[in-house]
């Protein structure tokens, strides 16, 4: 241990080593502030958090106080180390250079403290001795003080919210319909009874769904269905889940023609068989249109309905028709298609018929894990305008690409019906899907109090939006009626979500860091100017002195009695008078100068200097010379004053 202490003590006596350490300490301070600024700029420091549990008091400031105290301790210790090593080297530099005694005095006084430095700097206005160096020392100490102030304010621990990764059980919006697509595609009664029950049960919810706010049904947002957290949590976080946006586009039909009607021998027509020409010139036949008498009623149909054709191409393309007018955004009205009412000539039925295509777009949407509602409204995906264009059915899809969209025809055929009759024959009633559309379009149907209502007009894009919302509501209802997975269509998964958590987040103050960075740069520059060797340095000067206490001062002037005699002649020892008296050059002590006592490292004996000491002889010789000069002056004065002295010998003469 003693060897270590001796090694450290020996190292601190090596000026060149201390100078390098000083440069390194100041450079490290600059680099530290630069690193903190980079961390705050990106900001990376926010990754450091301290979570708060339910038992923690958010108003507890013990951690913040500990952080502030740590910053204060660091600033105090590091600042003291910088001042110590810089002062040590600066004073060694001072005492090994040739300069005036006053400059030496002023520069040393400026190192005592910031108050002494400011007072010494003020004294340079009255007598300038070492203004540049006193100014450097003063600015250095001021910057150390500023560093001590700003360092504790660089770090803080405010209370905030941080999102942590969690996984929640989610029910997928798309049910498992592979069995419906590949095992029971036929809509005949021979299909599985369970599948028939699923389609009818799903349609039974539509009268209730239409009463909901389109954005307040968990899992459904207008024309969008999305994966749904099975159980709501209290985390109030947002989970990004998969969603499907359904879009229905409709167009006009060219060359509509009545092909047949059924039955021919009845008083009322039940339905009509209609055909039209596709854009490629192909004739599409076997379109069944019901005989609808009331105004503002509608229905859905698809080609080849009599043969129960469930080809995939037709499952995504269908027709919508009704006893209301349709116009596009430009105000162009769709021409009505006139159909006979009876076998014999009778009042015709004016029908609006459009062809429609169903498409789905996969996307993602944010869902609140507490309310299980979409964070954004699905209304943004609805159409705001539409213009008439010739309708063309979608191309067939490969068997391996079948999905839930290809069940739409089956869904239309298996829907529940109301008791609202569409015609005088009472053969067909208004379906639940049809009623959903009428409610969405705000169409008025005849009632008991009002047997006839005026024919209304619907905009094309509103009809498309209502159909899109109908598709989404129906497929959403499949999961709702699948209680305890009785239909075997439920699909679940784990969804990654970000749960907000109350934490204390580490924050860096940019202003404090910038101030600290500028201060550290100034300190590094001032340190370089204060500790580098001066040009006036005397070769061979003793560099062991790094302070000017009383003992060091006595040792420094031990061989220079002129300094004592010059300063000692000042009658009134005021600061300014003493500084004026010290404005003469002082040579530093050389290593070959006399030393009172043993060699280097030897203890100085506690005895008075003997009479044989060269310094003592020199001082005594000087005293004897002064005594002889005083004696000669006294004799000269006596010789001049002796004739005028009064006494008894010359009283009579007077």
Residue 139 near residue 526, CB atoms below 8 Å: yes
Cβ–Cβ < 8 Å for 241, 226: yes
How far apart are alpha carbons 512 and 154 in whole angstroms? 5
- 35-49, 347-361, 398-412, 571-585 — which is least confidently predicted? 571-585
Question: Is residue 556 pLDDT above 80, yes or no?
Answer: no
Question: For 366-415, how does the pLDDT look when each residue is reduced to its tens digit (9 = 90+)?
Answer: 888 888 888 888 888 899 999 999 999 988 888 888 888 988 988 998 89
Least confident of 297-301, 344-348, 355-359: 344-348
Task: Give residue-wise pLDDT tens across range 447-481.
Answer: 766 668 899 999 999 999 999 999 999 999 999 99
| pTM of full prediction above 0.85 | no
pLDDT at position 579 is: 78
* d(C-alpha 241, C-alpha 261), whole Å: 49
244 beta partners: 225, 362
Q: Cα(29)–Cα(146) distance, rounded to whole angstroms?
A: 14
CB 305 within 8 A of CB 437: no
CA 404, CA 425: separation in Å to the nearest integer?
Answer: 35
Give the mean pLDDT of 203-232.
Answer: 89
The region of weakest confidence among 9-13, 220-224, 585-589, 610-614 is: 610-614
Rounded CA-CA distance 549/85 in Å is 17
- 84 pLDDT tier (thresholds 50, 70, 90): very high
CA 368 – CA 357 distance, rounded (Å): 32
Domain ranges of the chain: 2-157+506-586, 169-501, 594-634
Asked if 468 and 247 count as a contact pair (C-beta separation under 8 A), the reply is: yes
Give one word for 103, left, alpha or beta, with left for phi > 0 and alpha for psi -120 to 50.
alpha
What span, in angstroms and rounded, lies between the C-alpha atoms of 264 and 276?
22
User: Average pLDDT for residues 519-524, to the nearest whole number?
Assistant: 96
Mean pLDDT, the chain, whole residue set? 82
Pairing relationship of beta strands 457-459 and 325-327 according to DSSP bridges: parallel
Residue 652 has pLDDT above 50, yes or no: no
Percent of the chain scoring above 90 in pLDDT? 37
Specify the range with the lowest mean pLDDT, choosing from 357-361, 397-401, 420-424, 613-617: 613-617
Per-residue CA distances from 19 to 82, 134, 137, 534 (Å) = 11, 20, 17, 13
> Does residue 540 carry a pLDDT above 70?
no
Whether the Cβ atoms of residue 364 and residue 495 lie closer than 8 Å to each other: no
User: What's the pLDDT score for residue 535?
Assistant: 61
Per DSSP bridges, beta strands 492-505 and 159-171 are antiparallel
pLDDT digits (tens, 9 = 90+) for 37-77: 999 998 888 888 888 876 777 777 888 889 999 999 999 99
8 Å CB contact between 357 and 405: no
Distances (CA, A) of 103 to 542, 555, 578, 581: 19, 19, 12, 12
How sure is the predictor about 598, in pLDDT bands with cuts at 50, 70 and 90? Answer: very low
Report the alpha-carbon distance of residue 582 to residue 102 in Å, rounded. 5
Residue 9 has pLDDT above 70, yes or no: no
Separation of alpha carbons 403 and 519, rounded Å: 68
Phi, psi (rounded to 5 degrees) for 524: -65, -40
Sign of CA dihedral 459, 462, 468, 473: negative
Using alpha carbons, list the distances in angstroms from residue 146 to 79, 152, 515. 10, 11, 9
Average pLDDT over residues 542-568: 69
Higher pLDDT, 578 or 171: 171
Res 357 pLDDT > 90: yes
From the list 533, 541, 532, the residue with the least C-alpha distance to 587 is 541
Ranked by mean pLDDT, the top range of 377-381, 410-414, 437-441, 573-577 is 437-441
Cα dist. 446→207, 297, 421, 422 in Å?
Answer: 18, 9, 11, 11
Cβ atoms of 334 and 351 within 8 Å: the answer is no
Say how many residues make up the chain.
654
- Residue 147 scores a pLDDT above 70: yes
Residues linked to residue 541 through DSSP beta bridges, in sequence order: 590
């Amino acid at each position: 241990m003693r060897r270590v202490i001796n090694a450290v003590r020996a190292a601190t006596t090596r000026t060149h080593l201390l100078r390098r350490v000083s440069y390194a300490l100041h450079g490290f301070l600059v680099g530290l502030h630069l690193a903190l600024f980079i961390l705050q700029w990106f900001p990376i420091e926010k990754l450091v958090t301290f979570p708060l549990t339910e038992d923690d008091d958010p108003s507890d400031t013990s951690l913040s106080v500990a952080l502030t105290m740590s910053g204060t301790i660091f600033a105090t210790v590091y600042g003291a180390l910088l001042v110590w090593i810089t002062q040590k080297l600066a004073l060694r530099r001072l005492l090994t250079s040739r300069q005036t005694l006053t400059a030496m005095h002023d520069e040393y006084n400026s190192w005592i403290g910031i108050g002494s430095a400011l007072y010494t700097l003020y004294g340079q206005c009255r007598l300038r001795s070492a203004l540049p160096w006193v100014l450097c020392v003063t600015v250095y100490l001021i910057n150390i003080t500023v560093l001590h102030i700003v360092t504790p304010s660089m770090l803080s621990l405010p209370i905030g919210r941080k999102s942590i990764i969690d996984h929640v059980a989610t029910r997928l919006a798309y049910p498992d319909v592979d069995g419906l697509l590949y095992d029971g595609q036929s809509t005949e009664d021979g299909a599985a009874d369970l599948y028939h029950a699923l389609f009818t049960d799903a349609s039974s919810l539509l009268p209730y769904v239409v009463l909901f706010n389109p954005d307040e049904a968990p899992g459904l947002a207008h024309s969008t269905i999305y994966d749904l957290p099975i159980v709501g949590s209290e985390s109030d976080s947002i989970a990004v889940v998969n969603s499907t946006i359904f879009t229905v586009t409709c167009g006009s039909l060219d060359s509509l023609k009545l092909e047949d009607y059924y039955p021919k021998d009845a008083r009322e027509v039940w339905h009509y068989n209609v055909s039209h020409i596709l854009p490629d010139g192909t004739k599409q036949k076997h379109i069944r249109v019901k005989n609808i008498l009331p105004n503002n009623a509608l229905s859905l149909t698809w080609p080849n309905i009599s043969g129960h054709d469930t080809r995939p191409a037709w499952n995504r393309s269908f027709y919508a028709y009704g006893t209301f007018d349709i116009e596009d955004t430009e105000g162009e009205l769709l021409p009505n298609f006139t159909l006979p009412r009876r076998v014999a000539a009778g009042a015709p039925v004016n029908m609006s018929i459009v062809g429609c295509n169903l498409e789905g777009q996969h996307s993602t949407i944010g869902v609140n894990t507490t309310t299980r509602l979409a964070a954004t409204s699905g209304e943004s995906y609805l159409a705001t305008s539409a213009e008439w264009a010739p309708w063309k059915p979608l191309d067939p899809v490969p068997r391996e690409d079948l999905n839930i969209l290809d069940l739409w025809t089956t869904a239309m055929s298996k829907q529940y019906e109301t008791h609202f009759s569409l015609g005088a024959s009472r053969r067909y009633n208004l379906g639940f899907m049809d009623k959903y559309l009428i409610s969405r379009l705000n169409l008025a149907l005849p009632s008991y109090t009002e047997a006839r209502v005026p024919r209304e007009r619907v905009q094309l894009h509103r009809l498309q939006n209502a159909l899109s919302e109908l598709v989404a509501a129906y497929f959403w209802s499949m999961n709702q009626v699948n209680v305890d997975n009785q239909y075997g269509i439920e699909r679940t998964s784990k969804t990654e979500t970000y749960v907000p958590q109350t934490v204390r987040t580490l924050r860096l103050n940019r202003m404090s860091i910038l101030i600290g960075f500028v201060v550290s740069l100034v300190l590094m520059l001032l340190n370089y100017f204060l500790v580098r060797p001066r040009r006036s340095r005397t070769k061979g000067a003793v560099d062991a002195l790094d302070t000017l206490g009383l003992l060091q001062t006595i040792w420094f002037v031990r061989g220079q009695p002129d300094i004592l005699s010059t300063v000692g002649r000042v009658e009134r020892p005021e600061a300014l008078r003493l500084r004026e008296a010290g404005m003469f050059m002082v040579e530093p002590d050389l290593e070959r100068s006399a030393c009172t006592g043993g060699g280097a490292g030897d203890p100085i004996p506690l005895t008075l200097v003997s009479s044989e000491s060269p310094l003592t002889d020199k001082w005594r010789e000087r005293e004897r010379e002064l005594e002889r000069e005083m004696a000669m002056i006294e004799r000269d004065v006596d010789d001049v004053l002796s004739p005028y002295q009064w006494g008894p010998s010359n009283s009579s003469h007077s």
